[in-house]
Structure 1
Amino acid sequence: MIQLVVATVLFFVMMFGIGFILNMLMKTTWFPLYLLIIIVVAWMVYEGWTKGAMLNNLAEYTIVDWIPAVGGLVGAVLSGNAIQALRKGGYKMF
């Protein structure tokens, strides 16, 4: 249980940090989320070409596999919200 909590927090912090830095450098608010969506869609198309391998792989994932992934997704979304709030607050650097 402790490992699950640590992994979830780690994924959240990594995605938030990477997303925040990419948002500052690229000057776009939702770049990390778009990047994540593009990677997932490309993976789904690639796996779809094989004979049902994607569905078999997804069926083998458990809640322990999904919780850190959701933590990372939340971190990516919150990094976009943080940059957006800083820009509305008048910070031109972001």
Structure 2
Amino acid sequence: MIIAILLYFVLFFGIGFILNMLLRASWVMAVLYPVVVLLIIDSLGIGAYFTNPGEAFSELGTSLVQLPLADIIILSSGMVGAVLAGIVIRMLRDRGYQMF
């Protein structure tokens, strides 16, 4: 579990840092991360939310409630990494580093 926590933190910090650098925005990954988490948790495809939204959102709510504590901790570490990437980019830009 410790390895998974570190992996998600580093993975989403790195992805968030690169996206923030390329798109010149500080919080891109922090905004996109909940969507990524929902895609990881959900067993339905994206199209189900448009073709049968009532059942799809109901199943998503059930999946979220039944999520084990270990998964919540691991996915939360990814969110911390995404938010920290935004903070680091903002600090670097305030100190004069221009990335792309």
The answer, yes or no, to whether TM exceeds 0.5 is yes
TM-score by length of 2: 0.76
1:10-29 superposed matches below 5 A: 10-29=7-26
- 1:74 matches 2:71: no
Gaps of 5+ in 2: 43-48
User: What count of residue pairs does the alignment treat as equivalent?
Assistant: 90
Corresponding position of 2:6: 9
TM-score by length of 1: 0.80
Q: Which of 80, 89, 93 in structure 1 is aligned with 2:95?
A: 89
Q: Per-residue deviation at 1:74?
A: 0.1
Alpha carbons of 1:67 and 1:31: their partners in 2 closer, same or farther (altered >3 Å)?
Answer: same
Alpha carbons of 1:38 and 1:60: their partners in 2 closer, same or farther (altered >3 Å)?
Answer: closer
Pairwise CA RMSD of aligned residues? 2.5
